[in-house]
Structure 1
Amino acid sequence: MTLYSIMPDELIYPPNEEDYQKQKLINMSGVPILVNEQAPGEHYVVRVMSSDPQDYLCEQFTPGCRITLPID
């Protein structure tokens, strides 16, 4: 089914707020990264929030990569 509308997607399909509650901004090696928590201490990269283009080329910050952090 195709829906043609002038309304923004956010009004037609509201975002699931639970998904955003698991996200947090961390600083790893001086690079700000938005991560999503899957389990306590287990996170995966959602996006790089840096303004430095070199940070986007680092493989350890690729979206979808898993990161283990100490449990708070």
Structure 2
Amino acid sequence: MILYTPLANTDIFPADNAVFTKRHCVSYQNKQFFVEETDKGDFQVLQLLSTDPQDFLRQEFNPGTIIKEH
């Protein structure tokens, strides 16, 4: 089988599934985000899931931003 993709082999076949247990889809300020849970219980933005181009210009939605749910 040949798989044509721009992704790395480790992205398709990860060696450790423990990384994915901390990743979630959450709703924050009526927007959907793909986030990773930190050790403190907060969420770090990995990806904004939106069809509105204006959402991507907002700095509080940038990847790496910490979302505090508490």
TM over 0.5: yes
Partner of 2:23: 23
2:55 pairs with 1:55: yes
Alignment of 1:1-72 (within 5 A): 9-10=8-9, 13=10, 14-15=13-14, 16-70=16-70
Partner of 1:3: none
Structure 2: any 5+ residue segments left out of the alignment?
A: none
Structure 1: any 5+ residue segments left out of the alignment?
A: 1-5
Superposition TM-score, scaled by structure 2 size:
0.73
Higher Rg of the two aligned structures: 1
Structure 1 stretches of at least 4 aligned residues deviating more than 2 Å after TM superposition: 6-10
Partner AA of 1:37 in structure 2: E
Superposition TM-score, scaled by structure 1 size:
0.72
Partner AA of 2:33 in structure 1: I
Partner AA of 1:66 in structure 2: I
Give distance in 2, aligned partners of 1:46 and 1:40: 17
Percentage identity across aligned positions? 27
Query: Could you say what the CA RMSD is over the residues aligned between the two structures, in angstroms?
Result: 1.9
